[in-house]
Amino acid sequence: MVPPSAVPQYQRDIYGQVKDRGPGPHILTGPIEIKGAMPGDVLEVRILAIDLALDWGFNRQRSYTGALPDEFTALWSRIIPINRQAKTAEVAKGVVVPVERPFFGIMGLAPDSSAGRISSGPPGVHSGNMDNKDLTAGTTLFMPVHAPGALFSAGDAHAAQGHGEVDLTAIETGLRGKFQFILRKDMKLTWPRAETPTHWMVMGLHQNLEEAMKIAVRETIDFITKRFPHLSREEAYMIASVAVDYHVTQVVDGTKGIHGMIPKAIFTAQR
């Protein structure tokens, strides 16, 4: 158990004072208005820093959820101590997981007003609960804007997670993040994309994992042919097969995710 002194006062204030709660389970910081942002624009979010804020986290399995809902039918929870100095977490006896690349599971914008008030659970074209472990500090996220002001929110802090996130949760914890926002009126996107120092990242989100994969591959082809106009769709499709790594982002949020990592180093022409 976590002693009462380990629970920050701001968490107590949120649970005690915030009454207007949405349909989702997550605590989010935001929304942050980006002045001048309008539907059709793209918000570039440079993730400058993400730091662990707590000495503990937890993993929880809820009944009939996750990748194996019919096999894990009981509520199960574990408090996980985090060593912020060593950047490790002992998740089970003799099992120590590195927590060197914490990330926010949720980074998203407001949806189109026609969608009404949506849950923070499923991700979508508004980004949101992508649970993408590759969106760490040093990465830049690009998200299509659907509402005036963009209205950025972040939360669902994770100390560590595998590709896939299968039992419903990661090491859920508290983080502090530093972001830089750049409004891009020169870009047009349908799905969120990202860039790391070594890769470009495309994403596919759908209730069906196979359809999510198809979206990610189409996004790969679209990205390559637009960034490198001398390459044909057939060549881009080939590159997607021989050089791009596709990861199952998560399978527990209703809308499942695939993200493709396109290595920058293979493109020897000017980029």
Q: What is the DSSP string of 124-150?
A: BTTEEE---TT--TT-EEEEE--STT-
Cα separation of 115 and 106, whole Å? 18
Q: Is the pLDDT of residue 271 over 70?
A: no
Cα separation of 16 and 212, whole Å? 39
Direct distance between the N- and C-terminal alpha carbons of the chain, in angstroms, rounded to an integer? 52
Q: What is the mean pLDDT of residues 179-184?
A: 98
* Helix %, strand %, coil % of the chain (to 5): 15, 35, 45
Confidence of residue 41 (pLDDT cuts 50, 70, 90): very high
pLDDT digits (tens, 9 = 90+) for 45-64: 999 999 999 999 999 999 99
Look at the block and give the residue holding tokens 């493709």. 260
Cα separation of 247 and 121, whole Å? 20
Q: Which residue type, as a one-letter code, is found at position 40?
A: G
Name the segment(s) of the chain with CATH classification 2.60.120.580: 25-184
Q: What is the mean pLDDT of residues 195-203?
A: 98
Name the segment(s) of the chain with CATH classification 3.10.28.20: 193-266
Beta strands in 33-188 (DSSP E): 42-52, 56-61, 76-83, 88-92, 95-98, 103-108, 127-129, 140-144, 152-158, 175-184
Q: What is the pLDDT of residue 21?
A: 87
Q: What is the mean pLDDT of residues 199-221?
A: 98
Q: With contact defined as beta carbons under 8 Å apart, do 149 and 170 qualify?
A: no
Sheet holding 127-129, edge to edge: 28-32, 152-158, 103-108, 127-129
Q: Is the pLDDT of residue 32 over 80?
A: yes
What are the tokens at 195? 């860039």
Q: What is the mean pLDDT of residues 153-162?
A: 98
Confidence of residue 270 (pLDDT cuts 50, 70, 90): low
CATH H superfamily, domain 25-184? Acetamidase/Formamidase-like domains (2.60.120.580)
Look at the block and give the residue holding tokens 């980006």. 34
Q: What percent of the chain has pLDDT over 90?
A: 90
User: CA dist 102 to 31, 134, 165, 192, 198, Å?
Assistant: 21, 9, 14, 20, 18
pLDDT digits (tens, 9 = 90+) for 10-24: 889 998 998 888 889
Q: What class is the 193-266 domain?
A: alpha beta
pLDDT digits (tens, 9 = 90+) for 240-257: 999 999 999 999 999 999
Q: Is the pLDDT of residue 90 over 70?
A: yes
Give helix 209-227 / helix 233-242 axis angle, nearest 10°.
120
Q: What is the mean pLDDT of residues 75-101?
A: 98
Q: What is the mean pLDDT of residues 24-37?
A: 95
The closest of 180, 246, 264, 238 to 210, measured between CA atoms, is: 246
Looking at the DSSP assignment, which residues form a beta bridge with residue 45? 141, 181
Instruction: Read off the pTM.
Output: 0.95
